[in-house]
Copies of this chain bind each other. A is one copy, B any other.
Amino acid sequence: ALGTPKAIELWLDLVDDPVDRADQLTDLTREEVVQLARTIPPAQAADLVDTLDLHVAVDATRIAPPENAAAMLTRMESDRAAALLRELDPPERERLLAAMPTERVQVLRGLLQWPEGSAAAHMVPDVVTVQDSATAREAIHEVRTHKAKLRQDSHIGAYVFAVDDEQHLHGVVSFRDLVLADPDVVVHNLVEHDVITVEALTDQEEAAKVLVKHRLLALPVVDGDNRLLGVVTSDDVSDIVEEEATEDAERQGGSQPLEVPYMRASPWLLWRKRIVWLLVLFVAEAYTGTVLQAFEDELDAVVALAFFIPLLIGTGGNTGTQITTTLIRAMATENVRLRDVGRVISKELTTGVFIAAAMATAGFIRAWTLGVESQVMITVAVALACIVLWSSLIASMIPLLLKKLRVDPAVVSGPMIATVVDGTGLLIYFEVARWLLPELGG
- A102 contacts chain B at the CB level, 8 A cutoff: no
A315 beta carbon closer than 8 Å to chain B: yes
**Is there contact, CB below 8 Å, between A281 and B325?**
no
Q: How far is the CA of A283 from the CA of B258 in the complex (A)?
A: 34
Q: Among the listed B155, B285, B326, which residue makes an inter-chain contact with A311, where contact means beta carbons less than 8 Å apart?
A: B285
CB distance from A208 to the nearest CB of B (A): 8
Partner of A293, one of B18, B277, B318, B370: B370
Copies in the complex: 2
Bound: A274/B279 CA distance, A: 30
Knowing A282-B311, A299-B306, A330-B261, say if A235 contacts B215 (CB, 8 Å): yes
Nearest B-chain residue to A322, judged by Cβ: B255
* A253 with B311: CB separation less than 8 A: no
Query: Is A292 at the interface (CB under 8 A from chain B)?
Result: yes
Query: Contact at A271–B315, with CB atoms within 8 Å?
Result: no
Q: How far is the CA of A321 from the CA of B252 in the complex (A)?
A: 9
Min CB gap A317→B, angstroms: 7
Q: List residues of A (116-159) whose CB comes within 8 Å of B's CBs.
A: 140, 143-144, 147, 153-155, 157-158
A275 lies within 8 A of B314 (CB): no
**A250-B326, A258-B326, A366-B286 given as contacts; is B355 within 8 A of A274 (CB)?**
yes
Instruction: Look across to chain B and name the residue whose beta carbon is closest to the beta carbon of A210.
Output: B19
For residue A176, CB closer than 8 A to chain B, the reply is yes
| A340-369 interface with B by 8 A CB criterion | 340, 343, 347-348, 350-351, 354-355, 358-359, 362-363, 366
Give the Cβ gap from A368 to chain B, nearest Cβ, in Å: 11
The complex places the Cα of A366 from the Cα of B351 at a distance, in Å, of: 37
Whole-angstrom CA separation of A319 from B270 in the bound complex: 12
From A143, A214, A304, A325, residue with most partner B Cβ within 10 Å: A325
Picked from B255, B306, B325, B419, the residue with its CB within 8 Å of the CB of A253 is B325
Interface assignment of A7: CB less than 8 Å from any CB of chain B: no
Q: Which residue of B lies closest to A22 (CB)?
A: B213
